[in-house]
């Protein structure tokens, strides 16, 4: 039985193999719609797990993992690629009010939310495709869909919009 870092690395390799198997099966020719939906659910779970890993790595700014191992340039590059991939799918990492409370209060939360909202609307030309104008209801629904389970309240959207004016 493996222990320590070797056990963690082996476990990660098994997860990667499973993720590869799921993606291969999901995109195999002649797949049934029900199978595709099942695999899509598993793909979302895998993506969310990797997103959580990415957020943990981003939170630890010391450059050292919790087990004492230094974060390599390759790990940082992988984390950056994962972040870009998640953002391209509309699954940007989402700051919660609880996380913001530890870093300067609600002002920081609304500033960050305003920046995330701008990035979200600009990415993929969402705003341009909508003719340059969207209803708040549409923005609210699309933004919350992209945030997954870490949704924002309608009041938070309005406050973030006020911060957009100040941030230009």
Per residue in 113-168, pLDDT (tens digit) is: 898 898 888 887 888 888 989 999 999 999 888 887 778 899 999 999 998 888 76
Mean pLDDT over each residue of the chain, to the nearest integer: 75
| Per-residue model confidence (pLDDT) at position 99 | 52
Which of the pair, 134 or 60, is modelled with greater confidence? 134
Lowest mean pLDDT among 60-69, 82-91, 157-166: 60-69
pTM, rounded to two decimals: 0.46
% of the chain residues with pLDDT over 70 = 60
Contacts 24+ apart (CB under 8 A), 83-91: 83/54, 86/47, 86/50, 86/51, 86/54, 87/119, 87/123, 88/123, 88/124, 89/47, 90/120, 90/123, 90/124, 90/145, 90/146, 91/47, 91/48, 91/51, 91/146, 91/148
Mean pLDDT, range 61-76, rounded to an integer: 61
The Cα angle at residue 60 between residues 76 and 3, in degrees rounded to 5: 80
- For residues 157 and 164, give the distance between their C-alpha atoms in angstroms, rounded to a whole number: 11
Pairwise CA distance, residues 108 & 89, whole Å: 25
Lowest mean pLDDT among 32-36, 95-99, 156-160: 95-99
Alpha-carbon distance 97 to 62, whole Å?
A: 23
Mean local confidence (pLDDT), 63-71: 58
């Amino acid at each position: 039985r493996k222990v320590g870092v070797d056990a963690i690395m082996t476990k990660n390799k098994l997860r990667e193999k499973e993720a590869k198997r799921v993606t291969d099966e999901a995109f195999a020719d002649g797949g049934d719609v029900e199978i595709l939906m099942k695999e899509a659910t598993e793909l979302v779970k895998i993506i969310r797990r990797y997103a959580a890993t990415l957020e943990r790595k981003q939170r630890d700014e010391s450059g050292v993992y919790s087990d004492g191992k230094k974060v390599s340039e390759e790990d940082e590059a992988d984390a950056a690629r994962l972040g870009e991939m998640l953002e391209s799918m509309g699954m940007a990492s989402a700051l919660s009010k609880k996380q913001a409370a530890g870093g300067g209060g609600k002002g920081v939360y609304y500033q960050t939310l305003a920046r995330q909202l701008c990035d979200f609307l600009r990415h993929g030309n969402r705003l341009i495709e909508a003719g340059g104008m969207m209803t708040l209801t549409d923005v609210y629904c699309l933004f919350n869909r992209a945030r997954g389970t870490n949704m924002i309240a309608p009041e938070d959207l309005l406050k973030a919009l006020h911060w957009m004016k100040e941030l230009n």
